[in-house]
Structure formats: structure tokens, C-alpha cells
Amino acid sequence: MVRIPGGTFTMGAGDGDAADGPARKVTVTRGFYIDLVEVSVAKYGFCVKTGACTASGVHGTSDSDAEKFRAMCNANDPERAGDPVNCVDQGQAAAYCKFVGKRLPTEAEWEYAARGEDARAYPWGSEAPSCSRGAFGGSCRTLESRTTKVGSFPIAASPFGVLDMAGSVWEWTADGWEPTAPTATSDPAVPLSGDFGVLRGGSWDFAQSSVKAAHRLKFSRKVGHVSTGIRCVGGDA
């Protein structure tokens, strides 16, 4: 894990995307630890074997979708044990984090870990995404491309040294969805209510614009799909 000290950072984008919220100063009052990389298929699989987690798989959507995308769930490919687990919903993500003595990050914690205190657009800085910085969609995607092994792009590390915070799989946060990001200036968090949660970080099958550190994605909390994954945080640091 990587230690993230408490601090004040710019949360939100201010670039016209109302869902991402206006750029504003937010303080994370307590330090915390965050996983260096996304949770892998192998690590999630161990939790499944103990009975503490349920198996990943496309669910919460139509039967035709489940059948169409089943093969793209990394747990179904023995050669992808080192890739991030995908096809998990928010509840499954939270259950895994609890199993390892951690929890899901709040949106504020996630964004702070991704962009630091210098208001950078992407974890690595202000430069536009390139195929050497992550598993992105758009021009970086081929018929064969999907996720990559966790930790494959050290050049794209966040200012704290956290990896995989742009692309590969979207990461579940602990927050429920609000149309605009929470406006509290210290430790903002949205309690779980309703049908939707928030994903962060973009993925292999979404446009490169989705990997901006401030970008938020509204997603059904009960859906696990080929682009949904996990990163956990630990206690106070």
C-alpha cells in the first residue's frame, strides 16, 4: 500500500462537465493508505475460495449482455490471474475490501490519491493520455486489447506513487451518486442510497477522456461489468 498524508487539494474539474463538479479546495483531514495497484484476479479469487466473496461475472444487466461479455471477465481466463479483477459490483468490491481488513475509498480520497495537491488533470500530470500510460480505449484499443497486468505502467504513477489510477478498469468508490460532486470542504462523502454509485479512473473500453482524475461515472451499484474493478484503502496513516 501507499501512504497518503492528509492535505488540501483541488477536487473537481471546472471544465464544463457538471457531473464532475466545479473545481474547489477540499481537505482530507486524515492520512490513509491506498492499494498500490488494482486488486488482481488472483487476490480476489482467494477471497472467493474462502467464501467471503462471491464469484465475479457479468450481472445486474440483461441475460444477453451476460452471455455476450462473459468471456471478457478476467477470472474466466487462467492467463489473466495478474490482471485486475473485473465484472464486480459495488457490494462485491466492498466485501473484498472488508475481507482484507480495508474499505473502499471515498471519492475525495480517491481523487486526492490520483492527482495530489497540484491540480493535475491526470495522475501523471497535464500531458494528454498516450498508449504508454495505460490500458485505454479509443486509439489505444485493438481487437485483442483489454486490461493489462496490474502495475504495468509505472510511468503513469500519481504524485504519491500510486499505479493504475487511469485505465484498465473503473474503480468502485464508497460513495453513493449525486448529480454533482459533494460540496463539503472537508472529508466529503455521500451515503449509499438509491440505485447508483460512483466509479473512478476510466477503463480499457472507454474513451481516453474518461481517465481524467476528476471524472466521475454514474453506475448501477448492483451491476458488475467488464470494466468495473476494485482498489481498497486502509486505516489512518
**Model pTM score:** 0.94
Q: How many domains, the chain? A: 1
User: Which residues, 6+ apart, have CB-to-CB distance to 208 below 8 Å?
Assistant: 128, 129, 136, 137, 138, 139, 140, 202
Per-residue pLDDT, 124: 97
Asked whether the predicted pLDDT for residue 237 surpasses 70, the reply is: no
C-alpha grid cell, residue 84: 485486475
Spatial separation of the C-alpha atoms in residues 157 and 175, rounded to whole Å: 24
CB 166 within 8 A of CB 129: yes
| 137-166 confidence digits (pLDDT tens) | 877 766 567 899 999 999 999 999 999 999
Per-residue pLDDT, 67: 85
Per-residue pLDDT, 92: 98
Asked whether the predicted pLDDT for residue 75 surpasses 80, the reply is: yes
Residue 7 sits in a domain of what CATH number? 3.90.1580.10
Q: Which of 22, 45, 43, 31 is nearest to 3 (CA)?
A: 31
Candidate ranges 13-27, 55-69, 109-123; pick with highest mean pLDDT: 109-123
| 63-74 confidence digits (pLDDT tens) | 888 888 889 999
Q: 140: domain range?
A: 2-236
